[in-house]
Structure 1
Amino acid sequence: MARGALYKVMFRRRREGATDYRLRRKLLLSGKPLLVVRKTSRHIIAQLVKPRPQGDEVIASATSIELRKYRWRASTKNCPAAYLVGYLLGLKALRKGVKEAVLYIGLHQPVKGAAVFAVLKGALDTGLEVPHGEEVLPNEDRIKGKHVEAYAKQLLEQNPQLYERRFSKYIKEGVRPEELSRHFERCLEQIKKAFIGSSSPKGRWEGGGVAVNRSMGA
């Protein structure tokens, strides 16, 4: 509620916690596309946008729903899914000639290893250049879902009934959570084949000569 003549009402999106206008202005001055990541209660959405006076132009986008096309049958909101979304977005960006971007997470708190940084890691591993600090990126085991595997194995041994309830969606889709890393690698390979063709030992983007970082199998 207004308190005096000098009180300034914040922009609606700032009041709603959707946009940090001060940060956005700084990013706009870079002139680079923004890598925008959003996480809903069920899915992960990543977009590469170019701010325009009339509204943001979406250059490329990827969602965890799309991962089903590449045989992903596990959770669409966990760390492995986030990495795959970032990898998919990175390849789409490179295909359109975009090689640089700036990460924009709005008003979300930057938590080390969070899904937003898993998306960033996926995009980085395609060769997309995004300024970042290595300390915020999730490690390889977490990206592959090793933490889920460890929990699933422990639960299967100690409480099989709870295991079946907790991972009912995995089981229904024919995915063994204690083997999630293998499922992750198969899906990643499907994405590579769709965009890059057969895997190249040198890790090159064969369509345009852009190097693809193949660390952790990417």
Structure 2
Amino acid sequence: MATGPRYFVAFRRRREGKTDYYKRSKLVVSGKPRMVVRITNRQVICQLVEAGLEGDRTLVAAYSGELEKFGYKGYSGNTPAAYLTGMLFAVKAFNAGYEEAILDIGLHRATYGAKVFAALKGAVAAGLNIPHGEEILPDDDRVKGAHIVAYQPEKAGDLKENVEAAEDAIMKELK
């Protein structure tokens, strides 16, 4: 371990690999609320977070487990679930009075068509104003689940129609 008068110990969350403080400072300085997207093994989490001096405040949250209420029968950790969760998040944000945000993907690698960008596509499709580039978003067949149906048609069943039905049910929640 390095020692000496000029050695600087990194912040705990940086040492644990949980926070990139350079990226975080850029997002916080913007003054807009952040659409925080986190992908776990079993679910997708979208939150609208506002930074404050005493800490961050979560204003709106949507979880992929909530999609069952809207008729979604698929797995809650895949790309269509991320798309629908982003859409549900945007509807909840609109109903709470928020119209814009900036995307915060944390330490997730920005890969073209990734699940975090499927959630972004769902939020933008519902009408939330989030700056983004069109080339990073997954294509429509992927967010509707066509790739899952092609890979395992016996397990997927009518996933494509189920995603479209859940999409319509979520948009009916918009006030």
Deviations 1:33-77 (A, max 9, x none): 011011111111110000111111111000011111112121101
Aligned residues: 175
- 1:27-66 to 2 correspondences below 5 Å: 27-66=27-66
Give the corresponding residue for 1:109: 109
Determine if the alignment matches structure 1 residue 68 to structure 2 residue 47: no
Aligned equivalents of 1:41 and 1:110: distance in 2?
18
Q: Which residue of 1 aligns with 2:162?
A: 183
Instruction: Give the deviation of 1:3 after TM superposition.
Output: 3.6
Q: How do residues 107-186 of structure 1 correspond to structure 2 at under 5 angstroms?
A: 107-153=107-153, 167=155, 177-186=156-165
How do 1:7-22 residues align onto structure 2 when only pairs under 5 Å count? 7-22=7-22
Map of 2:90 onto structure 1: 90
Give the Cα–Cα distance (whole angstroms) in 1 for the partners of residues 65 and 151 of structure 2: 25
Letter in 2 for 1:93: A
TM-score (norm 2): 0.95
Taking only the aligned residue pairs, the percentage that are identical comes to: 49
Instruction: Report the residue type matching 2:42 in the other structure.
Output: R
- Superposed CA offset, 1:111-133 (max 9, x none): 11111000000111111111111
How much does 1:185 deviate? 0.8
Runs of at least 4 residues of structure 1 off by over 2 A? 1-5
Which protein is bigger by CA-based radius of gyration?
1
Please list the CA deviations of residues 85-137 of structure 1 after superposition, one character each: whole Å capped at 9, or x if unmatched.
00000011111111111111112110111110000001111111111111110
Native 8 Å contact 1:79 1:143 kept in 2: yes
- Whether the aligned pair in 2 keeps the contact of 1:148 and 1:178 (CA below 8 Å) is no
Q: Partners in 1 of 2:85 and 2:94 — Cα distance?
A: 14
Note if contact 1:94-1:128 (Cα within 8 Å) is conserved in structure 2.
yes
Cross-structure match for 2:23: 23
Gaps of 5+ in 1: 157-166, 168-176, 197-206, 208-218
* TM-score in terms of structure 1 length: 0.77
Greater shift in the superposed pair: 136-145 or 105-114: 105-114
In structure 2, what is the Cα distance between the partners aligned to 1:72 and 1:57? 29
**Structure 2 CA distance, aligned partners of 1:7 and 1:99?**
44
- Aligned residues of 2:126 and 2:171 also touching (Cα < 8 A): no
Pick 1 or 2: higher relative contact order, CA cutoff 8 A, min separation 6.
2
CA distance in 2, matches of 1:86, 1:50: 18
Tell me, in whole angstroms, the C-alpha distance in 2 between the residues paired with 1:185 and 1:137. 18
CA RMSD of aligned residues (A): 1.3
**Runs of 5+ unmatched residues, structure 2:** none
